[in-house]
Structure 1
Amino acid sequence: MKKHLLILFSCIIYHSGVAQTNAEVNPVRQRVHYGFKVGLNYANMNFNKGYPTPATPVKASWRPGFLLGFFLEVPLPYNFSLQQEYLYTQINGTHQGLQTQYGHSYLSLPLLLKYRLLPKVVIMAGPQFELLIAAQEKANGQTTNTTHETEERSIGFTAGLGFRVSKFLSLNARFMHGFNHIGITQRTNALEYKYELLQIATDFRF
């Protein structure tokens, strides 16, 4: 009888320890976080991935832009969370062969699955949807509004890392690659490209 009680007591202690360890490793964060973010992006309009492929390869040209907006982060079990963002994003590009610069403004909607790899480090990935707000191009010193001649919707995949600086402040870096071809001046001689975008941003959460 004493032997059975000792085994039972040992099992209780063991399972209690395992449960406590699992709770520490895989906590369920109950609080929903929200906040706003600001940052910079560097974009390349890759015309070499457009259709038809240009006869002469177009040299890559990375140009800066900015982003700002809001986000909402919903906790999930086992160190996961889901983050929806609503961003105003300025994406610029250049066609070196045509000596033409482009400036596009988007409503960006990334939907990210995040995993807390370390107490202050997270990895994230997910789709990013883009809705065109305004577009223009500059060539030979003249600026032309091309909003109605530019593909209005695009989708890409984004992934990156985040670092928690404090309870309210985080830094993150992400790379986004566009899936679909984006056409410019579709009513005349169409040009197509795919976006490549590097983003560095600061999150302020509440």
Structure 2
Amino acid sequence: MKFGLKAGLNISTLSNMDMKSKAGFYGGVFANIPVAKDFSVQPEVLYSATGAKGKGDNNTQLNLEYLSVPVMFQYKALPNLYVEAGPQFNFLIDARLKKTASTSLLKNGTQSFDFGIGLGAGYFFTKNIGVNVRYTAGLSDIVKTKYQYGYDREGSVKNGVFQIGLNYKF
């Protein structure tokens, strides 16, 4: 079993919202547990900043912060290359809508739990240092109440997060 750190860039979107993608940060720890010759399970605990930005107004941002717990099932396709897939459990830390100079708290209108499925790949340049890319598709509607942004929204709002980052194994 190996332990490690990982950190990188989130590019996140929200379905059924008339908003653009937003950049954010993720970082945390992982444990890589071999279960067979080319298979391992990698649970992680990550801080993840997601959300979206207004299309016409870059000063409007929906900022969501989660404690994310992905459990990735990894297959070593080549000696240094792996592919992965698995569930991700997100626990809401904070939700805020920022418009120009004002910020409003949206935590009461946002679900405290979000479930998603992740799919990704990674490559280790050395025994300890590697890169990872992953896309996590949210399967839960994150809106608890039907609040309005000046128009009617139909359908559920789900997170979609693309990640690229660095891994370090101890």
TM-score (norm 2): 0.88
Q: 1:40 aligns with which of 6, 9, 18?
A: 9
Identity %: 30
Match of 1:203 in 2: 167
Q: Runs of 5+ in structure 1 lacking a partner? A: 1-31, 49-57
Alignment correspondent of 2:84: 124
Distance 1:148 1:195 in 2: 17
Q: CA RMSD in A?
A: 2.0
Residues 105 and 133 of structure 1 are in contact (CA less than 8 Å); yes or no, is this contact kept in structure 2?
A: yes
Q: Given residue 117 of structure 1, which amino acid in structure 2 is its aligned partner? A: A
Of structures 1 and 2, the one with the larger relative CO (CA 8 A, separation 6+) is 2
Contact 1:105 1:134 (8 Å CA) reproduced:
yes
Instruction: Check if 1:105 corresponds to 2:65.
Output: yes
Separation (CA, whole Å) in 1 of partners of 2:61 and 2:166: 28
Aligned with 1:193: secondary structure? coil
Q: Residue in 1 aligned with 2:24?
A: 65
SS at match of 1:148: helix
- The residue that corresponds to 2:115 in the other structure is 155
**Aligned residues, how many?**
164
Measure, in 2, the Cα distance between the counterparts of 1:72 and 1:174: 17
Residues 45 and 94, structure 1, Cα contact 8 Å, conserved in 2: no
Distance in 2, matches of 1:140 and 1:42, equals 21
**Residues of 1 paired with 2:13 and 2:21: CA distance?**
5
Residues in 2 aligned to 1:115 and 1:188: alpha-carbon distance in whole angstroms? 42
Deviation per CA, 1:35-55, whole angstroms, max 9, x where unpaired? 11111110011126xxxxxxx
Task: Say which structure is richer in strand.
Answer: 2
Structure 2 residue runs without a partner (length 5+):
none
Larger Rg: 1
